[in-house]
Amino acid sequence: MIITVTLNTALDKTFTIPNFSLDRVHRPTEWKIVPGGKGINVSRVLRELGLQTLAMGFAGGYTGGMIRRGLEQEGLASHLVPTAEDSRECITVIDPEAGTQTEINENGPRISAGELSALDDALRARLPEAEALVLSGSIPPGVPPDIYARWISAAKQEGVFTVLDSSGPALAEGVRAKPDVVKPNRREFAELTGEDLLTADEIAARSLALVDTGIPCVLVSLGRAGAVAVTRNEQWVSRSPEIPFVSAVGSGDAFVAGFLFARHHGEDLEGSLRLATAAGSANAMTFGAGFCSRECILSLAAQVETRRLDLESKD
């Protein structure tokens, strides 16, 4: 079983509005309203790939009720701790004519010490059953930024493989606990390292420096440009296949799911990067986060180009 944690679950509303502009009334031509948040998106793709998953996190109020019902309707196993305040809503507007994507994300509910303690107890109780733990997304108000670091340490004590995909202070604190995989996107990686690196090769070199601090694997997703995968012994760059682009929402989460699926089946680093890149691309072809199909992912994997780098560790 793979546990995903989404501290800031959301009701995701995605609208397609051709020729979207401000200060006008619009009516969408297509829409999708589903439970969301990065960990939930990862669980959705893992389930599609045939792996058992448990989505954990918080859900409160009327919005939280809709999140719970939506997960039940999808058949996604979950354990969501109730919160006194309402869960957030996130709105994405896709304009296919302009090729733009506009997002409005609420901050999320303030989490009390008691609510956090309840989730902490529940997560630690399930860790012995887990193959992997995925800690994804933003930290809602009231949650200390070192929470991911605490859970990474707890998972390591149980021998559970850990993946961290966050940003800001939560990412900076989390890497200190040395998760097995850190997966920022290009912007998050720049914030973490303090360097605005432009090329995949530059990002790979800086990733190797992060590996030298004790993190076994660094994955950096680069959107349409592909991704970078770096360990001490191997460094790879992938290039995404050409696809009919729909939306980038959830593509980084699909990438994580694809990587874990490949690892579960014993793929090496190159194969895992190839499958992860394919999953991110499959998601970008799909309306709604995490609704890409297994068939599409496996088909695209054969079209992903990879290139091995020859970098030297300084450790």
pLDDT at position 247, please? 86
Q: How far apart are CA 59 and CA 230, in angstroms?
A: 35
Chunked into runs of 10 residues, the chain (315 residues) has average pLDDT values of 97 94 93 94 98 98 96 97 96 91 92 98 98 95 96 98 96 97 96 88 93 97 94 96 90 97 97 98 93 96 94 69
Count CA atoms closer than 13 A to 195's CA, side-chain side. Answer: 12
| Side chain identity at residue 235, one-letter code | Q
pTM: 0.94
Question: Environment class of residue 227 by beta-carbon count within 10 Å: exposed (0-12), middle (13-18) or buried (19+)?
Answer: buried
Q: How many CB atoms lie within 10 A of CB 278?
A: 27
Q: How far apart are CA 31 and CA 13, in angstroms?
A: 7
Domain positions in the chain? 2-309
What's CA 192's distance to the chain center, in Å?
A: 17
Residue among 253, 268, 310, 315 flagged as catalytic: 253
Q: Is the separation of the CB atoms in 115 and 84 below 8 Å?
A: yes
Q: How many CB atoms lie within 10 A of CB 283?
A: 30
Q: How far apart are CA 274 and CA 98, in angstroms?
A: 30
253 catalytic? Reply is: yes
pLDDT at position 161, please? 98
DSSP strand pairing (132-136 vs 100-105): unpaired
Q: How many CB atoms lie within 10 A of CB 161?
A: 19
Q: How far apart are CA 50 and CA 162, in angstroms?
A: 20
Q: How far apart are CA 65 and CA 210, in angstroms?
A: 40
Cα angle, residue 272 at apex, residues 267 and 276 outer, rounded to 5°: 145
Q: How far apart are CA 41 and CA 257, in angstroms?
A: 9
Q: How far apart are CA 91 and CA 15, in angstroms?
A: 8
Q: Which residues make beta-bridge pairs with 237?
A: 228, 307
Indicate the CATH number of 2-309 among 3.10.20.30, 3.90.220.20, 3.40.50.300, 3.40.1190.20. 3.40.1190.20
